[in-house]
Amino acid sequence: MMDNLAMKEIRKKLRPIRKRLRPIEKKIRKNMRFPVRLLNGIELSSGAHFGIIYVGNKENKNYVANLAFGEQYDENFLGEKWLPNILLILKKNTRNYSLIIIDANESLCRLMKRNRDFYIPSWVHGKLDLPLTVSDKSSKNDLRKIRKNNLKFEVTTEKLQFHQFYYDMYLPYMIKRHGNKNKSLQYDELMRYWDSGKCELMLIKKENEYVAGEVILFEKYGPRLLILGIKDGDPHYLKYGTGAACYHFSSHYLQELGYESLHLGGSRPFLNDGVLRFKKKLGLRLVGKTDEGFLFKPLAATAGLRGFFLRNPFIFAHQKELCGAIFIENGEVCTSQKNLTQFSKCFYINGLSNLNIYPLNSNGTKSKTMIGSALANRINVLPAEKKSGLSFE
């Protein structure tokens, strides 16, 4: 009798604790369920069938699917699954698919990572050192466009102009780029930044027309380009050099205010991505990454996977460093110092620990790789078979 009374008293005392823990339990349960999709299509560069098992959110899935297939592919949504059930699905479908992509928190990805896998952050962060230096031909051409079209800039903190920028430039631009509003920062969220008094709006002007703009957020560690927009989301305005003007004018403006660097926000970690390449030519320096990412788990050395890797060099995380991965057909090209210098010029970004070049044809690695002293700390040449465990020959 006393035991029953004691147990009732214990349960009574535990009731408020269990109530407080219930939301945490629900959150854990929610975070252990993941959407699973089977993607099938023709890989863009090889013209071969390519199958991907994609575990993760729809937004990132759309981006990766576009890299692999463009807009034409088949998708079979299997629903949201518990992690143990996902492992069973993966085991069942490995014969029909050549790549598994798990889009999740870095900690979870690392628990599931093998030595042959790549962990690729969803976004990488970078800065520009000020003053902005213009040296390459493309950047000089951008400046000529800016001068030719007589582009100017204005800086304002007027809320009405911010409102017009959001709905007339930023939102249309994001919809044009991503196909929906999901990637866009919500108006209320941006207004919180704005109302903090730490934001300024820079508008790019062509004659009497505002054609582009960007919001600069002044944070504790320096200024950051928060968002950018083009009038009506119309790419026609980019021909005037408005995109380049946003970066050049903001860097000039912030330098005059006494700042030594400008945070450019996030970029996708694929080295052929247009936005990342544009920032690279301005002098991008990588300074970090998001805690979310893609775990790439190669399954079979198909023509589709081969084409995907050849077409999409990427940045991956190794321990605490960021590295570049470039897949090439034949290791013979690595016997030329000129070719290696060209790889470095095209793909190396300040802040990368090194560039790893993976020849898919291991026969090419039998020839001596010539890496000069100038590139010795920047480039590694490793057989793709040694990294992935797959033979692409």
Answer whether residue 202 is part of any domain.
Answer: yes
Answer whether residue 311 is part of any domain.
Answer: no
Kindly report, residue by residue over 98-113, the tens digit of the pLDDT: 999 999 999 888 888 8
pLDDT at 96: 83
Whether 135 and 268 map to the same domain: the answer is yes
| C-alpha dihedral, 283 to 287 to 290 to 293, nearest 10° | 70
Cβ atoms of 168 and 212 closer than 8 Å: no
Whether 266 and 151 map to the same domain: the answer is yes
Answer whether residue 307 is part of any domain.
Answer: no
Answer whether residue 10 is part of any domain.
Answer: no
CA distance 377 to 371: 9
Cβ atoms of 314 and 322 closer than 8 Å: no
Whether 149 and 80 map to the same domain: the answer is no
pLDDT at 372: 64
Whether 295 and 338 map to the same domain: the answer is no
Whether 96 and 177 map to the same domain: the answer is no
CATH, residue 157:
3.40.630.30
Answer whether residue 215 is part of any domain.
Answer: yes
Kindly report, residue by residue over 254-264, the tens digit of the pLDDT: 999 999 999 99
**Residue 296 β-bridge partners:** 101, 118
Give the count of alpha carbons within 13 A of 175, CB side only: 14
pLDDT at 17: 64
Answer whether residue 14 is part of any domain.
Answer: no
pLDDT at 177: 74
pTM, 2 dp: 0.85
pLDDT at 223: 97
pLDDT at 376: 73
Answer whether residue 88 is part of any domain.
Answer: yes
Nearest to 185 by CA among 175, 196, 198: 175
Kindly report, residue by residue over 208-255, the tens digit of the pLDDT: 999 999 999 999 989 999 999 999 999 899 999 999 999 999 999 999
Answer whether residue 368 is part of any domain.
Answer: yes
Whether 43 and 102 map to the same domain: the answer is yes
The DSSP output letter for 140 is H
Q: Which domain holds residue 377?
A: 318-387
Rg of the chain, C-alpha, whole Å: 25
CA distance 239 to 220: 35
Q: How many structural domains are present in the chain? A: 3
pLDDT band at 25 (very low <50, low <70, confident <90, very high): very low
Q: What are the DSSP E strand ranges found in 231-350?
A: 261-267, 285-289, 292-298, 314-318, 321-330
Whether 224 and 203 map to the same domain: the answer is yes
Average pLDDT over residues 309-324: 95
pLDDT at 367: 46
Whether 145 and 186 map to the same domain: the answer is yes
Nearest to 249 by CA among 154, 317, 115, 176: 154
- Decide if pLDDT at 371 tops 70: no
Whether 331 and 353 map to the same domain: the answer is yes
Whether 242 and 283 map to the same domain: the answer is yes
pLDDT at 364: 46
CA distance 224 to 37: 36
